[in-house]
Amino acid sequence: MNIGAVAQASSVSAKMIRHYESIGLIRASSRTLAGYRQYHERDVHLLRFIRRARDLGFSLDQIRQLLSLWDDPERASADVKRLAELHIADLDARIAALTEMRTTLVTLANACHGDHRPDCPILQDLAAPRS
């Protein structure tokens, strides 16, 4: 399989496959005489794993750890769970930060009459000195 075929099969762009190779997240594939990368079915599995982990918000560094656990038949599920829980805590923090922004903004937007008048609590809040 050429890179385009694996890309399509794994939903990871060719661009990203090359990038993952360059940063050592995946091993360099073999090449044809012309220098084309050659892939196999197991590479599709690997890339799908990566893609799925990305979709769950894991960073490439975390994925690196997940992959090494995936590869290790001796792994303890506790190690995987710990990684997942760290990531959940991270998601929680981000969600909380965004939610706080949202709450403040909604309050401000509700206070803004939103008509032709220049008077606006949103701008007033932005301009107010914080204590």
Residues binding its own copies (CB under 8 A): 11, 45, 48-49, 52-53, 55-57, 66, 69-70, 72-78, 80-82, 84-85, 87-88, 91-92, 94-95, 98-99, 101-102, 104-106, 108-109, 112-120, 122-123, 125-130
- DSSP for 74-88 reads T--HHHHHHHHHHHH
Residue number, 35 or 119, with CB nearest to its own copies: 119
Minimum distance from residue 130 beta carbon to DNA (Å): 15
Find which of DNA, its own copies, none residue 14 binds, CB within 5 to 8 Å per kind. Answer: DNA
Which tokens go with 110? 């509700």
Q: Report in angstroms how near the CB of residue 88 gets to DNA at its nearest.
A: 16
For residue 4, the one-letter residue type is G
Tell which residue, 5, 34, 9, 37, has the closest CA to residue 22. 37
Please give the residue ranges that form the binding site for DNA (CB under 7 A): 2-5, 13-16, 18-19, 32-37, 54, 59-61
